[in-house]
């Protein structure tokens, strides 16, 4: 099973700091509330930040409908809502801000582009990629033109577009954008800035998706060290780095290293967001997968069920995160000998992935593999074989012929061939799989 960890939106911090720069000259209740919101936000105390921003908004409404203080407060509140998973509210506020800023500042103004990017993040978080991508690309083009190629805002756009392309399974397009963003951040903000850590995390997740686990680990460790130093050990950004590193340990079967990191991350996120936030669901799901892989089924099942419920509540039924939750719970049921329940969940997961990500996404191949494995274990070989074939085709095209997940699919398909008395065909697939494994002896694929 594959982790889909949500990226911590550092953008919100930038937005709040922008408003904070204006606060120092304001001896008003609005300024007091906004300063308090900035402090709370920086500490990861998002509920407290929201309380202060709501109070600041009430004060700012006295300044006029197009006053920069009001518009800045609306923007900051929209960014905070996105972090909290309150996407509909975030979208409404950011659209309002975008209309005002576009009118008063002009389409190419730095704050207009910042709002455009924030709105795109709201869409991206909801897997509304067709709406997010043109906004990210517009923001990037404008920043490159007005700020230059080596500006930190340009790096932000490169990073965010890279994340979107990663989520769409376009790894070869995402990687150069993330590498360029990282280089700019290191040059402009320094090697120990939270923005640098954010892109380190994202590039590491891309390496992991491409099966380059050894490349991912030092980036994840560096990101975690930066977050612990700059944000503190109990900040949600630190929790995200903990989760990402734990997920890598899990796919490398280093379970003893993964579990304490996940438990620490869960405690941080539940304190920051409560028990029903998407990021809490992500960690519960990751813990459930970890326990499943250790055959701790009684511990895994409630975690996976709870994670799925959180995903469905916060993301809606047609989100890749929901599909992942369905797929992971289905795999548990499959191995528990509950084929009817497993098949239903696999089918639902495949429908969501196909609808949202398309027919050639690597995550869809995982679902095809899972359902094929169920049919294989039930002796429904005729139904399993085309699923293995389709999964293999997707993986070879998107991940490359030497990816560890290709090896895993070859092995499962070979098992089917042996059960259907096609030993020579099976041997060819097994030989291919063994060659891949030999080149990657220290790394294993995600389940």
Of 378, 405, 385, nearest in space to 394 by CA: 405
Question: Above pLDDT 90, what percent of the chain?
Answer: 91
Q: What is residue 26's predicted lDDT score, i.e. its pLDDT?
A: 46
- Is the predicted pLDDT of residue 10 greater than 70, yes or no? no
CB 115 within 8 Å of CB 105: no
Q: Whole-model pTM?
A: 0.91
Domains of the chain plus CATH, in order, are 1-146 (1.25.40.10), 355-447 (1.25.40.10)
Cβ pair 171, 205 in contact under 8 A? no
Q: What is the mean pLDDT of the chain?
A: 92
Least confident of 26-35, 78-87, 156-165, 355-364: 26-35
* Residue 447 in this model has a pLDDT that exceeds 60: no
Q: At what angle do helices 68-83 and 11-23 cross, to 10 degrees?
A: 150
For residue 444, name the pLDDT band (cuts at 50, 70, 90).
Answer: very low
- Digit-coded pLDDT (tens) for 306-335: 999 999 999 999 999 999 999 999 999 999
Name the pLDDT band for 441 (thresholds 50, 70, 90).
Answer: low
82 in Cβ contact with 12 (< 8 Å) = yes
Q: What percent of the chain has pLDDT over 70?
A: 92
pLDDT at site 28: 83
Q: What's the pLDDT at 18? A: 41
CA-closest candidate to residue 271, choices 87, 42, 49, 44: 44
CA dihedral 358, 353, 312, 77 (to 10 degrees): -40
Cβ distance 439 to 404 under 8 Å?
no
| Mean pLDDT of the region 291-315 | 98
d(CA 121, CA 109) in angstroms, rounded, equals 19
DSSP string covering 213-225, please? Answer: HHHHHHHHHHHHH
């Amino acid at each position: 099973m594959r982790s889909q960890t949500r990226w911590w939106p550092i953008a919100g911090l930038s937005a709040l700091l922008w408003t904070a720069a204006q606060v120092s000259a304001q001896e008003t209740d609005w300024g007091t509330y906004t300063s308090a919101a900035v402090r709370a936000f920086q500490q990861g105390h998002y509920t407290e930040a929201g309380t202060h921003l709501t109070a600041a908004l009430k004060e700012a409404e006295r300044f006029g409908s197009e006053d920069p203080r009001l518009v800045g407060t609306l923007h900051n509140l929209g960014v905070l809502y996105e972090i909290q998973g309150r996407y509909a509210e975030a979208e409404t506020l950011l659209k309002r801000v975008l209309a005002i800023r576009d009118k008063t500042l002009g389409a190419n103004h730095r704050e207009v582009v910042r709002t455009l990017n924030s709105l795109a993040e709201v869409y991206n978080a909801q897997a509304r990629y067709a709406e997010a991508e043109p906004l990210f690309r517009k923001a990037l083009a404008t920043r490159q033109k007005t700020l230059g190629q080596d500006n930190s805002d340009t790096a932000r756009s490169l990073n965010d577009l890279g994340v979107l392309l990663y989520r769409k399974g376009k790894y070869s397009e995402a990687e150069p954008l993330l590498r360029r963003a990282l280089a700019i951040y290191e040059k402009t903000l320094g090697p120990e800035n939270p923005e640098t850590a954010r892109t380190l995390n994202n590039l590491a997740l891309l390496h992991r998706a491409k099966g380059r686990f050894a490349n991912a680990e030092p980036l994840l460790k560096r990101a975690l060290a930066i977050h612990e130093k700059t944000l503190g050990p109990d900040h949600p950004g630190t929790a995200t780095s903990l989760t990402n590193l734990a997920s890598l340990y899990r796919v490398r079967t280093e379970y003893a290293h993964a579990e304490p990191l996940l438990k620490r991350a869960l405690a941080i996120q539940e304190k920051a967001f409560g028990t029903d936030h998407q990021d809490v669901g992500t960690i519960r799901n990751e813990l459930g997968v970890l326990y499943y892989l250790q055959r701790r089924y009684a511990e895994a099942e409630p975690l996976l069920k709870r994670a799925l419920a959180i995903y469905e509540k916060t993301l809606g039924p047609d989100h890749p995160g929901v599909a992942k939750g369905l797929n992971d719970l289905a795999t548990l049921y499959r191995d528990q000998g509950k084929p009817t329940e497993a098949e239903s969940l696999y089918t639902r997961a495949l429908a969501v992935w196909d609808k949202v990500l398309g027919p050639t996404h690597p995550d869809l191949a995982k679902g095809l593999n899972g359902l094929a494995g169920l049919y294989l274990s039930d002796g429904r070989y005729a139904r399993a074989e085309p699923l293995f074939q389709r999964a293999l085709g997707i993986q070879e095209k998107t991940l490359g012929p030497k990816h560890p997940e290709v090896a895993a699919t070859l092995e499962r398909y070979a098992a089917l061939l042996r059960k259907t008395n096609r030993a020579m065909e099976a041997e060819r697939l097994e030989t291919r799989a063994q060659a891949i494994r030999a080149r990657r002896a220290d790394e294993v694929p995600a389940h």
